[in-house]
Chain A
Amino acid sequence: MSSTDIAIHQTDMHHGHDEHDHDHDQNFIEKYIFSQDHKVIAKQYLFTGIAWAFIGGFLSVLFRLQLGWPEATFSFLEPILGGWVQNGKLDPEFYLALVTMHGTIMVFFVLTAGLSGTFSNFLIPLQIGARDMASGFMNMLSYWIFFLSSVIMFASLFIETGPAGGGWTVYPPLSALPQAISGSALGMTLWLISMALFVVSTLLGGINYITTIINLRTKGMSMTKLPLTIWAFFLTAIVGLLSFPVLLSAALLLIFDRSFGTSFYLSDIYIAGEALSNTGGSPILFQHLFWFLGHPEVYIVIMPAFGIASEVIATNARKPIFGYRAMIGSLMGISVLSIIVWAHHMFVTGMNPFLGSVFMFLTLIIAVPSAVKVFNWLATLWRGNIRFTTPMLFAIGFVSIFISGGLTGIILGNSALDIQLHDTYFVVAHFHLVMGAAAFFGMFCGVYHWYPKMFGRMMDEKLGYVHFWLTFLAVYLVFLPMHYVGIAGFPRRYYNWTGFETFNIFTDLNTFISIAAILGFFAQFVFLFNFIYSMFKGRRSPLNPWHSNTLEWTTPINPGHGNWPGEIPTVYRWPYDYSKPGAAEDYIPQHIPFSETQSSNLPQERVLE
């Protein structure tokens, strides 16, 4: 390794400049493709994530067409879907594959890799004051393994038997038996290979994030001076490190069941007129292993959004974040609880009711740290000098959606109520609001806020407003009626429900939801246009466009590899000194020593002058 090189470079500051020049010698491939620069890797994650988000969104439009107009003929889809549309009717098994791939893509490829991958990579070194990640090579490896995993998952969309169709949770025995549905054939194998690679990629990334935050903070940056974004990414990575290996274990056993004739999850099955020889397996075992990842996974998705929203709300309310330590404490509480509540997804598996009560109790406790966070965001906004920038709108929208979705979580966490609502659209509405739409809002919030740092230009505000309002309305128009349909017992994952008298009356409501969903999907093209257009034609960004306190705004507008051309700034204060009484401006960045701000120093800060 290059430990000796590091020692040499440390001695002389001017070497920093030499390195900067050295950057220009890199060829195209080293600089943009197999780059070890965390900023380039972050952008690679972002671009891949956006591409996946449009694919995942498009799949949802396809199945919303089927749900909204169950009697219609979709001959116009034949040029895109080919054999999957027969006589204008969507193939029922393909419908299941659409739902499965929509879930897999959105949860893993967009909201895990696209969100954590982008912002952890981009912000950790910039905000803690590091030149790069602890291991640039491992970081690069993490992206390219993710890319390979993406390619395999994408390829599975185009094979003859179709992509995986057993739901994003891939429960056996359905997913374990290729003869069960076409979605359990080759598509399922590719799903498992792709996800195994995905886990490896996530672990490599997460190990880097944790190590970097622990080891490479700049002088003065103690853990209690970290921006809340970093705390959120840190705990997200820890939760990922503990839960993703378990998914790998579960997937490995499923691979053995599918391809090597073992019986971990299979027992006493009679299918297509023949009895299978598998004995002694337990499908519930898979659910335990899967949800041991699956539940923490929803926090892996939402916690980065927590951090991003906290940062953006404090910056744009021009107020210190309310309850900084409570924010960290609640993140820790959520991280711990996230790992011990998995069985609330399994209340209807015939589990011991006493055990169900334990998991119910633990689940409901999560409401406490979540409510602490919501209270703190609202208290930060309260009487703030709010600037309604686009990222701020998305941050406020995030809080709104998180509250709306979180409230139904309290209902679903009760085992008695969950038995009624299990696998209905009520659940679909709940998790789409609280972890789907909310995490997306956090992601948009982050993209709009840090776009100037990524590309040196600002995104268009007007288009941002249009994008926000269309998306915000669409989210509520889609998911609020869905709760109603769900309470009425409407089951999820059903291709066609017009045969059931009970559910016929919801045709209009389903059409309404579909129209709103399609509107929401097309609103994202406003974002896409804004994103690409601003990269080339956007207003040039000033050095610190949002008058923010964190360290990334002390770098040049387009930072090179190594981030700071000279010495890394030393940190003296926490990142939330906004509107401090007596200060010349309404923000004091973290690298300003107390000796320069004597007019605003608090009594206990005088000793630090």
Chain B
Amino acid sequence: MVTNIDGGTTSNVHPLKFSLWLIIISILMMFGAFTSAYIVRREEGNWLEFDLPGMFLVNTVIIVLSSVAMQWAYVAAKKNNLNMVKLMVGLTMVLGIAFLYGQLNAWGDLVANNVYFGGSESNPAGSFLYVLTGVHGFHLVTGLIFLLIVLISSLKFKVHSKNMLRIQLCTTYWHFLGALWLYLYFFLQVNH
């Protein structure tokens, strides 16, 4: 591979880290579109009112805890506490999977309350909820894949204080996914 960086970079941020922030902006724009469409559509009336699944609160706690674990792993990597890195990255993954499982349960609650994604009984109010949680869930899966990559490299002793880039990127992305969920959760609380 050809070296990109000859005389050092012109900014202090690593190019990949910078790229990650741009990716985050593009994901934010996507959700910005969904949530503003949600508001505009809701203003027009013919909007099904229903209770949000109670699971959402539990899931919110879970994803906040997973962010704490992720940060813990990051700090541990900085201090070369490699066993703790593996443990905490693993814990983050478990919590991430628990969150996804919880979201599936929340969908189950919705269906049980006759709030459907599609079909003749459906209303955009419900469909939007499925889309917001579904697209967030999709991005969470990409986050889990990233975590898996970090976990594997930590098992190969490749995550330590001299090689922080990968876990740093992963931490940023994971915190972003958590913050995105918090935004969606409060958005849904307010606009419901």
Contacts and interface: CB of A to CB of B under 8 A. Distances in A.
A263 B125 CA distance: 10
A19 B26 contact: no
Interface in B4-45: 4-7, 9-11, 13-16, 18-19, 22-23, 25-27, 29-30, 32-34, 37, 40-41, 44
Interface centre among A6, A242, A263, A289 (most CB of B within 10 A): A263
A505 B34 CA distance: 47
A504 interface: no
Interface string A167-195: 00000000000000000000000000000
B118 A261 contact: yes
Contacts of B125: 280
Given A135-B19, A262-B122, A263-B127, A215 B10 contact: yes
Interface string A244-260: 11101110110010001
Given A246-B29, A289-B37, A134 B4 contact: yes
Given A1-B166, A131-B2, A212-B15, A207 B23 contact: yes
Contact of B19 (A134, A221, A250, A261): A134
Interface in A221-250: 221, 241-246, 248-250
Given A131-B3, A246-B30, A568-B7, A263 B16 contact: no
B47 to A, nearest CB: 7
A211 interface: yes
Contacts of B26: 203, 207, 241-242, 244-245
Interface residues of B, number: 48
Given A131-B6, A214-B10, A5 B33 contact: no
Nearest to B166: A1
Given A217-B10, A262-B124, A249 B46 contact: no
B34 A279 contact: no
Contacts of A6: 3-5
Given A131-B2, A132-B4, A253-B131, A260 B117 contact: yes
Contacts of A15: 3
B133 interface: no
Given A1-B166, A246-B29, A561-B2, A218 B7 contact: yes
A5 B10 contact: no
A27 interface: no
Nearest to A564: B6
A135 B117 contact: no
Interface in A423-451: none
B155 interface: no
B105 interface: no
Contacts of A10: 3, 5-6
B6 A567 contact: yes
A260 B41 CA distance: 19
A133 interface: yes
Given A1-B165, A131-B3, A203-B26, A211 B15 contact: yes
B34 A219 contact: no
Contact of B47 (A214, A280, A561): A280
A247 to B, nearest CB: 9
23 contacts: A5-B3, A19-B3, A134-B15, A134-B18, A135-B19, A138-B19, A210-B18, A215-B9, A219-B7, A241-B25, A241-B29, A242-B29, A245-B30, A252-B131, A253-B37, A253-B131, A267-B46, A279-B123, A280-B125, A281-B124, A285-B37, A285-B40, A562-B2
